[in-house]
Structure 1
Amino acid sequence: MKAVRLRGYGEAPTIDDVPEPKISGAWDVIVDVGAAGVCRTDLHVIEGQWEQIQHPDLPYTLGHENAGWVREVGSAVTNVVPGDAVIMHPLTSCGLCAPCRIGEDSHCENATFPGLNVDGGMADQLLTNARAVVKLDDGLAPADVAALADAGLTAFHAVRKAVPELFPGTHAVVIGAGGLGHIGIQTLAAMTAATITVIDRSEEALELATTLGAHHTVLSTDDESVAAKVQDITGGGAHVVFDFVGEQGAELLAPRLLRNRGSHYVIGYGGAVHIPTIEVISREINVIGNLVGTYTDLVELMTLTAQGRVTLHTQTYPLDAAGDALNDLDHGRLVGRGILVPAAARSR
């Protein structure tokens, strides 16, 4: 089968012929990939940023945002059958460790992470497990939801955590209306009563944000101008800032947009947050990290999607154009989320 493989850090991935995966465990599930999302994390993986955390053996297949149709299942699998349309949680969790026992399966102590430390879904087929698959509503197609497996799930997870802070009369500021941010805007609109202000460098992205539920938009120019506009819109600063960029200066701007006792939710990454400790304590501000969401988060997100309250905006590429998709993402040419569709999926 065809697969997008990383052979060395700092090198462009290649399209290789590799063996199809095989069932080896009772809980295994093999999926015919319908679509695989193209994520900024893939760029960071290629750069080598995740090597110290995940230690993958190169070469391996990229792709951690995946949806498709069940092809084959292990002997113990009962929650899906061949032919079912499914989306995959990014982690294959064990269900037995302490985090899994309390529903924090995104911190599973025995997880694999397809696309980061084992073969992922930028391929014709993907090996996952029964605990990772969420059966899709009849009205949802894999290509319509694949990137929600990480981009959407991570955005939903952050908003879900912030819901108690975003009661009527509060202000939420979203930095970045791209692949993650445009889902964050929709989940904010669906789950909170906050007034939503969106900041982005792209006028096209801001136009999209307005259609998705943003009440105000700010074109990102210089930090001083942006901070002044946000302070004016929010009447003294945001109660919560969601930073979906996390680099290129956004991580430094975000704390300046908060009011006292506000919360800075870090979702994008690549930079470093620098806040003097005297400011943290005197203003009582919070900096909150956000990993990918849990399995339950993904189920809830799929419910919102099936209800039509969350829609993924995508640009589609064939699997063998993965290099073009990654390049477009890296150079800011994507609005919404890029997805790769294998040839077999295009003909279904």
Structure 2
Amino acid sequence: MRAIQVVEFGCPVAVTEIPEPEIQKPDDVVVRIAGAGICRTDLHIVEGGLEAAFQQRLPLTLGHENAGWVEAVGSGVSHLAVGDPVIVHPAVTCGVCDGCRQGRDMHCGTWRFPGVDGWAGGYAERMVTSARALVKVGRAGAEPSALAGLAPFADAGLTAMHAVQRLVPFAGVGATVVCLGSGGVGQVAVQLLKILTPAAVVVVEPDAERAQAARALGADVVLELPAEQAADAVLDLTGGRGARAVLDLVGEGGVPEQAMRMLAKGAVYSIVGYGGGVRIEHLDMINRELTILGNQIGTHAELSELMMLVEAGKVSLATELFPLEDAAEAMAAVAAGRVAGRAVLVP
């Protein structure tokens, strides 16, 4: 079958032929892919930026944002049937460790990360995963193109859901929450902040098209400014107090430093984007009693809750579909910022 693989770090991905995935364990499920989202993490993988962190070996089939149809199930799977439309949680987990027992899937001690750690992902016609990873979807995925469009919710949406739910204690009445970035994750985050909290939502997004998307999705204030100017603007908006929460979806360059500058006393800096860093001054952390949160992907329960909101029409995400064989061109478009929402590959 066709697949998109990294065959050499630093080079564009290649269209290859690989064997069809097969059921090997009782809880295995083969999913026929309707769509696979392109995440910036995929771009970092191609560049070789995650080789050491995940001990990656090439060739590697990318794709950790996937949706499709159940094509085959193992002997131990009774709650899924061939033909069921599903969205695929990014993690394959054991189900019996402390993390899994407590519902924190991403804390599984032996988890696998298809499309990232060597387990073949969904940039292909089919992939194999665990039945534990799948969430059935209803009418929102009734049509093939609609199901393909759900794929980015598996990571972009799920990460936003996880991060926003952790911000709820900081985002009460009268609070200001700043969202740095309005790409795919940011667009979902804005909607969830408006649904789950009464806080005023301020989006910082220099790109005009993405800034307009944030306005359309309900952001109270959109600042089309670079981070340094935006930090001053946030302080002005809050009478010098700062924001109760800053959700950093960029994490690069000078953005983390400016994010810290925006924080009010008792506030939280919530990190999703990566690639940069910030120096932590302990006295400042103590005097302002700040909290820093790192966010991985969310839980299976959070993915289920998110899909309920999508099904109800309360959360949406702009997507652009590309043929699977155009993966290199699509990834270049994402890298260049030419995709306002999320790009999705369709076999």
Do the structures match in fold with TM over 0.5? yes
Going from structure 1 to structure 2, the CA distance change for 1:222 and 1:155 (only over 3 Å counts) comes to closer
Counterpart AA for 1:57: R
Misfit runs of 4+, over 4 Å: none
- The question of whether the paired residues in 1 share the 8 Å contact of 2:177 and 2:199 is answered with yes
* Correspondence for 1:179: 184
Counterpart AA for 1:174: C
Counterpart AA for 1:214: A
2:194 matches 1:194? no
Shift of 1:57: 2.3
Cα distance in 2, alignment partners of residues 68 and 102 from structure 1: 28
* Correspondence for 1:139: 140
Counterpart AA for 2:9: Y
SS in 1 for 2:140: coil
Cα distance in 2, alignment partners of residues 100 and 197 from structure 1: 35
2:231 matches 1:227? yes
* Correspondence for 1:81: 81
SS in 2 for 1:270: coil
RMSD: 1.1
SS in 2 for 1:180: helix
- The question of whether the paired residues in 1 share the 8 Å contact of 2:190 and 2:219 is answered with yes
Cα distance in 1, alignment partners of residues 231 and 57 from structure 2: 44
SS in 2 for 1:139: helix
Counterpart AA for 2:104: E
For residues 209-248 of structure 1, what are the structure 2 equivalents within 5 Å?
Answer: 209-221=214-226, 223=228, 225-235=229-239, 236-248=241-253
* Correspondence for 2:322: 317
Shift of 1:145: 1.0
Counterpart AA for 1:138: R
Cα distance in 1, alignment partners of residues 12 and 101 from structure 2: 39
Cα distance in 1, alignment partners of residues 83 and 185 from structure 2: 29
Cα distance in 2, alignment partners of residues 276 and 22 from structure 1: 52
Shift of 1:248: 2.7
TM-score under structure 2 length normalisation: 0.96
- The question of whether the paired residues in 1 share the 8 Å contact of 2:227 and 2:258 is answered with no
2:63 matches 1:63? yes
Shift of 1:77: 0.6
Gaps of 5+ in 1: 343-348
Match of 2:210 among 186, 205, 208: 205
Counterpart AA for 1:301: L
Counterpart AA for 2:250: V
Q: Could you give the per-residue CA deviations for residues 82-104 of structure 1, whole angstroms, max 9, x where no partner exists?
A: 00000000001110111111111
2:51 matches 1:32? no
SS in 2 for 1:229: helix
Cα distance in 2, alignment partners of residues 53 and 295 from structure 1: 24
Match of 1:158 among 157, 163, 168: 163
Shift of 1:218: 0.4
For residues 306-345 of structure 1, what are the structure 2 equivalents within 5 Å?
Answer: 306-342=311-347
Q: Could you give the per-residue CA deviations for residues 84-128 of structure 1, whole angstroms, max 9, x where no partner exists?
A: 000000001110111111111111112111100111001000111
Cα distance in 2, alignment partners of residues 277 and 319 from structure 1: 48
- The question of whether the paired residues in 1 share the 8 Å contact of 2:63 and 2:123 is answered with yes
Shift of 1:222: 5.9
Shift of 1:312: 1.3
Q: Could you give the per-residue CA deviations for residues 271-327 of structure 1, whole angstroms, max 9, x where no partner exists?
A: 112232221111111111000001011001101111111101111111111111111
2:110 matches 1:110? yes
Cα distance in 2, alignment partners of residues 222 and 265 from structure 1: 16
What percentage of aligned pairs have identical amino acids?
42
* Correspondence for 1:250: 255
SS in 1 for 2:215: helix
Going from structure 1 to structure 2, the CA distance change for 1:290 and 1:222 (only over 3 Å counts) comes to closer
2:282 matches 1:281? no
